[in-house]
Structure formats: structure tokens, C-alpha cells
Amino acid sequence: MKYQMLGKSGITVSQVAFGAWGLGGGNVWSGMSFDAEYVRDLLSYAFDCGINYIDTAPVYGIGTSERILGKALEGMRDRFVLQSKCSLNWRGTGRFEYERDGYNVMRDHHAEAVRKDVEESLERLNTDYLDSLVVHRISKDVPVEETMGELLKMKQEGKIRAILISNSRPEDFLAYAQCGETDGVQEKFSLLSSENSDYFETLKKHKAIFQVYGSLEQGILGNPKVLADRFGAGDIRSSSKWVREPYRAKLLEMYSSMEDICEKYGCSFANLMQAWILKQYDLISLLTGFRRRETIADTCRVFDIALSDKDAEYMERLAQKVRNAEQQKV
């Protein structure tokens, strides 16, 4: 495992972060469910593999992910850097964002709302503080000064230690950083979805991390077998364009062309996809969803791969063919 500083917070985190979205279950993950004992074992194994960084959010399973983690972390909270989020709620305040599992999720960046989010997360997670807090989805509805002002108050109170933002643009980061220390961003990024690479120069100047979610596109980039699965109507993977034609066929071609590279490095497809990501920026935080020990073990092998520039460029050319699949239709 490799470690790095979480921005300028003074907090040392493993470069791989334990993503707890899937632990929330619900329709978004085809009705999967987990108990605290199972998750506790999973966390213990992750810690033994060197992972000390956990990411969750109130809306993951409408509180379920946080509640399970709260129980699973009893007696070992101090082993982990615990990160949750604010600004999405199902209390009915703010602007409607989406409906999930029978709840209307709202986006609210007002001071009162983000404080309420943090206080409710602390209760569900059974902890007195969050090591890191992510503003879940940036909004133009509320002045940055109001949102960040409240976060800085909670930082002074010891309820949070570091601040990140997500689903944002470089100008958003600069606006938050102007109000107070902002330690990084959490953004979608993968071999197929690399648009946010324009963030790197801004973050480099601030020594801030780029925490990647979606590096495997909910598993679609981890194993070609996933492309044969049939997901439920509410399952997040069913909405991905990559599982539909003409992208699916081109993606299978890409997998076939990458078999030799996997053999060269003795690694899985998932390792290869994430090794490419690690080459893109010095302060990458690799947020990966974990529900099985095998996935944790495999992910940690990514640090054994010294992906060459030539192979990385070849992978990018293959991915471009997948992205351009619609244009290639006759």
C-alpha cells in the first residue's frame, strides 16, 4: 500500500480508499444487503491490507451505509480516516435532486442544512467527528461563503478535520479554496470518462488530492463478464451507456485487445484500468467500492504494476474507439 497526505490537513491516508456506497444496498445495487458483522470482517481485512481510508455518504441506502459502518467500526474507529458527505438529504429541504427507494432526495447547501447533515451522520456513524467531509454536489443556489463558512465553524468545533468538494469544476474548487482550506475533490474519472483531467493543474498548485470514483464504471471496466449481466430497472449499472450497443461491442473488442497487456503485467483487467489512472496525477486517491475480500486483495495489487507510457497510450487509443462507437455506426 502507498500513503499520501490528504491535502494540507496533516492526515495521512492510504492511496486506496474503501468505498461504502454499495453497502447501502437498495434498488441501486439490485437489492443487495449486508450486516454489520460481515462489514466488520471486511473492514478488518482492508486494514490488514493497508487501507485506512473509508468513504460513505448519508444518501447511500438512505442512511443504511452509515448505520452499518457505525456498528461495524465499534472498537476500531481510531484505525480509520472516516469520510462522509453533506448537502443531499431526504428531509424535504432544498431543491429536488432525484427519487430513490421511495424517498425524494434534495440538494441543500444552506448553513443550517449542512450542519444538520453532519450532525445526523455523526449519530448514524456513532462517532464524535469526521476526519473528512465532502460537499456532495456543488450548487450555485447558495453562496459558497455561506456553505464554507459553516463547514469552517464545524472544523473549529472539532466535528470535521478536512474538507473536499465533489461533482465540481476547477472554478468551484478555487471559490471554496478562497474561503478556506480545501483539501481536494472527488470526481468521476475512468479510462472511458477522463474529461475531468483538466482539474489536475489547479489541484497541483494547491497540493490537493484528486479522489477518483467510478474508476471501473460500476464494474463494467473490471471484467468483461459484467457485460453479460442483466441488471434490474433501478440498478445504477442498467443506466450506463457502456452496457448498450454499439458501445458494448466496442468495449468487448477493447477487452480482447488488452488481454496481452494483462498477461505482460500478470494482472487483472481491473488492475490495468486503475494503473492507468494512477499515472495521470501524483495525488490520486483511488476510491473503490468493496463488498468482497477478493476485490480488496485484487485492488491492492495495482501498486505492483509499473505501466509503461507506451502501454498507457495504447489503452487510451482503444478507449477512444469505444467512446466514438456511436459515430462509427453505418
CATH number of the CATH domain containing 69? 3.20.20.100
What local confidence, expressed as pLDDT, does residue 320 receive? 95
What local confidence, expressed as pLDDT, does residue 226 receive? 83
SS3 192: coil
Q: Give 20's contacts (C-beta < 8 A, 6+ positions apart).
A: 54, 55, 56, 60, 65, 69, 289, 290
On whether residue 98 sits in a domain, the answer given is: yes
Half-sphere exposure of 221 (CA within 13 A, CB side): 26
On whether residue 268 sits in a domain, the answer given is: no
What local confidence, expressed as pLDDT, does residue 330 receive? 39
pLDDT along the chain (330 residues), means of 10: 97 97 72 84 98 97 94 97 97 93 94 98 98 95 97 98 97 97 97 94 97 92 82 70 88 94 96 97 95 94 96 96 75
How many domains does the chain contain in total?
1
On whether residue 254 sits in a domain, the answer given is: no
On whether residue 152 sits in a domain, the answer given is: yes
Choose the catalytic residue: 38, 45, 53, 60: 60
Reply yes or no on whether 199 is catalytic: no
On whether residue 206 sits in a domain, the answer given is: no
Domain limits for position 100: 11-182
43, 76 Cβ separation under 8 angstroms: yes
Half-sphere exposure of 86 (CA within 13 A, CB side): 30
What local confidence, expressed as pLDDT, does residue 328 receive? 62
On whether residue 201 sits in a domain, the answer given is: no
On whether residue 48 sits in a domain, the answer given is: yes
On whether residue 90 sits in a domain, the answer given is: yes
What local confidence, expressed as pLDDT, does residue 125 receive? 98
What local confidence, expressed as pLDDT, does residue 282 receive? 95
